[in-house]
Structure 1
Amino acid sequence: MGLLFTKLVKMFMDEEHKVIVVGLDNAGKTTILYQFLMNEVVHTSPTIGSNVEEIVCKNVHFFMWDIGGQESLRTSWNTYFADSDFVIFVVDSTDRERLHISKVELSKMLSHEDLSNSRLLVLANKQDVKGCMTAAEISQQLQLTELKTHSWNIQSCCALTGEGLSEGLEWMTQQVSAR
């Protein structure tokens, strides 16, 4: 009876979860954040510091911290890690030359103690561009299948149209329910 009551209460309570949205510069992080928020494209400029927005999906409140991805800012990413339930790692699917840098940055992040319990959503952005890498190619290059320390998912998306973003958010919501 106690377990059933707890599950029912959790089902109707609003939950809050911290999400950090990271990736290399020009991957589309801010565009994705505002597509989640307003379902439209907003003109953006490179993020210096961070943007924070609340996204609600099925009574789950995700506080999304969009963090600048320029090389000079990446060393400060770890100041945002504390209490993060999710990492959304955005990859520019057209940027083959820097995918190895994404791999290194992702690996560094996921080895950080403050992210040991976080779940990972990789968004393979810019899928609308001809010749882009597929989500499967990106997954292989990032060696996601070898990742045993975190629950993860990769989702193809296009920040400009919003395609694939709701599926990513749905995966996050399911992860919350599963715990």
Structure 2
Amino acid sequence: EDYLELRPPPPRPEYDVVCIGLTGAGKTSLLSRLCSEGSDGIVPTTGFSIKAVPFPNAILNVKELGGADNIKKYWSRYYQGSQGVVFVLDSASSDEDLEAARNELHSALQHPQLCILPFLILANHQDKPAARSPSQVKKYFELEPLARGKRWILDGSTTDNMDEVKESFSHFIGLLEDKDIEPVRI
């Protein structure tokens, strides 16, 4: 009598990812929703927290670093061992905060431990009236010249549309999986 042998599913690959962005960008809320945790009572992350975020084809061990000024200066201590970067920005923030976020993203993109890694940049809070579109953010952040030759994705996000956020992460996981790809020779 034939019976199906029950094998455990193959282990999903795990990737260590660092998540950065200014306080209030929405990092914790997005990650909590991705882990199907409630998002009430979320307080700004002090120091850092680590979450294992499950996706169908991978598990991301996301090290989320608090965005307050007194923590930001220590961000780079936590970059070691990262395989990808998630950068969350508040697309509805003041020009001043956007400028600060831009400076942080630029220094991350140029940081020796991060510059070779894939980046997922989320222009969060797209549901707010003052939100700038991803294309406005891309222009304002001058991503084209800076990130040329790097693997990065810039998407809009909001905790109201987690399907879209999961879609962004699944593209990002695609970049993480492709790290061994040879550069194309023409």
Q: TM-score, normalised by structure 1?
A: 0.86
Aligned counterpart, 1:47: 45
Distance 2:137 2:110 in 1: 20
Question: Amino acid of the residue matched to residue 59 of structure 1?
Answer: N
Shift of 1:159: 2.2
1:1-179 equivalent positions in 2, closer than 5 A: 13-38=11-36, 40-97=38-95, 98-146=97-145, 147-162=147-162, 164-179=164-179
Q: What is the alpha-carbon distance in structure 1 between the residues aligned to residue 134 and residue 121 of structure 2?
A: 9
- Cα offset, 1:163, TM superposition: 5.0
Give the superposition deviation at 1:13: 5.0
DSSP-derived class of the 2:113 partner: helix
Residues 83-104 of structure 1 show CA distances to partners (whole Å, capped at 9, x for unaligned) of 1111111010111321111111
RMSD over equivalenced CA pairs, Å: 1.7
Give me the whole-angstrom Cα distance separating, in 2, the residues matched to 1:78 and 1:29. Answer: 18
Equivalents in 1 of 2:144, 2:94: separation in Å?
Answer: 19
C-alpha separation between the residues in 1 aligned to 2:90 and 2:176? 26
Residues 23-81 of structure 1: CA distance to partner in whole angstroms, max 9, x if unpaired? 11100000011011116434211111111111122331210011100111110110111
Deviations 1:103-122 (A, max 9, x none): 11111112111113211111
Secondary structure of the structure 2 residue equivalent to 1:140: helix
**Structure 2 counterpart SS, 1:158:** coil
Q: Percent identity?
A: 23
**Residues 13 and 117 of structure 1: is their aligned pair in 2 closer, same or farther, counting only changes over 3 Å?**
farther
- Matched position secondary structure for 1:155: strand
Secondary structure in structure 1 of the residue aligned to 2:46: coil
What is the one-letter code of the residue matched to 1:120? F
Other structure's SS at 1:38 match: coil
Taking the aligned partners of 2:12 and 2:93, their CA distance within structure 1 comes to 38
State the structure with more CA Rg.
2
4+ runs of 1 displaced by more than 3 Å?
none
Q: Which runs of 5+ in 1 are unaligned?
A: 1-11
Contact 1:21–1:67, Cα closer than 8 Å, also in 2: yes
Q: So what's the TM-score if we normalise by structure 2? A: 0.83
CA distance in 2, matches of 1:164, 1:40: 18
**Number of equivalences:** 168
Distance 2:176 2:114 in 1: 16
